[in-house]
Structure 1
């Protein structure tokens, strides 16, 4: 068992991001934000005097603030911004509870999602996403994560899951471009909308659209801001 892969209630093993990353963001981002705010306040007068510098208005306003209250206020704003970013990161942080009978995913305060252990054939990381796949090649879960591969591999190995180095069906994915005939009009429209969500870094919408595309019969993989697709395996019960 590796660091950040520890037993939890029952016979499950919890896999989470390294402690230095979890606690470092909580403490480090507010400090970094405060430092940036302090530096901005110190440099405001100098930048405001440069005719060619952009954002002259905000820098002139900062430079006009009474001191030292102005510098402290800007630094405090930076601290608050850092706390905000830290909270957003915490809300998107994934934890995975692995047991023989199920795999549970938790992300922030969202309701947990589960996959039955008996349905899982292989597990692997694919470009920063944890993927659980069944024996037919269908994806039971695809969750973006910062948990180290060694931590995840140890947790799944501990409970008898088969861990692979890569996607056995990775070669079947094709690059999607608008109006790709193979996906049909409806899925093409969903992929267009999802491309916009990815561009805006709206992870929630992108995840929901991935599920909609999956229900429509296609699996999606992201790579370098581009979407790749392959047909979802067909079953009698689908």
Structure 2
């Protein structure tokens, strides 16, 4: 993949990585079977609990959802329990498949890092990765200049990730070393490159929408092209521009 300055967007810009895994590469990914079976089991348990709750609700004169509860309890056993557990298991199975599809996979070798999510992946050559950072529940790749080149939600074991990256010669940090350079964004604040304030306004609006995650992600990439790194915390946007001195986060929430 050619060199891209902006933050990686695996859902829109990624491409399948051609060829098999490199010799000696370390692959860290969620176990599809474990995750799916876990969700299936949770769904089955929830289905069983629904049966018990329905039986409890019909005994209450003031209970909510009396109609659905009476309908459910009118089904004779064992079909009532089998049906509820079965429906719960199916829903859990669907959730499991979605979770596997949305989970991040990481492949690390001495030559490159490959991040995969959904049906796409993005490759970062060794010379592009200056530091690998854990930022809360997100995995972040920083370039040698401190510019962010990738940021992904990550549910993988952090100890395994740290071990894999350091074993292949990458620098790892448990916290962003540039954290104090971030400044809280407020509309119209000075110091931003031309056009960045408008993008941050649009991104703030997108993040308030239920279906705005993709827009917010795309706008993060546009900001990155302007040389602005953006970080979200407690519903607020913070920004920094690598290479420029910035004030610390004096107004950050405790």
Same fold (TM over 0.5): yes
Segments of 5+ residues of structure 2 without an aligned counterpart are 1-20, 245-254
Residues 1:127 and 2:136 aligned together: yes
Q: Which position in structure 1 is the counterpart of 2:223?
A: 213
What is the count of residue pairs matched by the alignment? 220
Seen in structure 2, the aligned counterparts of structure 1 residues 74 and 216 have a Cα distance that, compared at 3 Å, is farther
Q: Which position in structure 2 is the counterpart of 1:144?
A: 153
Distance 1:89 1:99 in 2: 26
Deviation track 1:103-142 (CA, whole Å, cap 9, x = no partner) reads 101113x211111111111111111111111122101111
TM-score, with structure 2 as normaliser: 0.75
Distance 1:210 1:226 in 2: 14
Shift of residue 204, structure 1, vs aligned partner: 4.5
Q: Which position in structure 1 is the counterpart of 2:189?
A: 181
Distance 1:65 1:233 in 2: 68
Residues 1:13 and 2:26 aligned together: yes
Distance 2:63 2:242 in 1: 53
Q: Which position in structure 1 is the counterpart of 2:56?
A: 46
Between the two structures, name the one with larger relative contact order (CA 8 Å, sep ≥ 6).
Answer: 2
Q: Decide which of 90, 93, 100 is 1:83's aligned counterpart.
A: 93
Q: Which position in structure 1 is the counterpart of 2:37?
A: 27
Structure with greater helix percent: 1
Distance 2:80 2:222 in 1: 50
Distance 2:124 2:199 in 1: 25
TM-score, with structure 1 as normaliser: 0.80
Seen in structure 2, the aligned counterparts of structure 1 residues 74 and 176 have a Cα distance that, compared at 3 Å, is farther
Distance 1:107 1:81 in 2: 22
For the 8 Å contact 2:231–2:239, the answer to whether it is kept is: yes
Q: Which position in structure 2 is the counterpart of 1:111?
A: 120
Where does 1:86-105 land on structure 2 (aligned, <5 Å)?
Answer: 86-105=96-115
Segments of 5+ residues of structure 1 without an aligned counterpart are 1-7
Shift of residue 205, structure 1, vs aligned partner: 4.7
Residues 1:164 and 2:173 aligned together: yes
Shift of residue 23, structure 1, vs aligned partner: 4.2
Name the Cα RMSD after superposition: 2.5
Name the SS for the 1:181 alignment partner: coil
Shift of residue 232, structure 1, vs aligned partner: 5.5
Seen in structure 2, the aligned counterparts of structure 1 residues 204 and 80 have a Cα distance that, compared at 3 Å, is farther
Seen in structure 2, the aligned counterparts of structure 1 residues 101 and 84 have a Cα distance that, compared at 3 Å, is same
Distance 1:53 1:25 in 2: 35
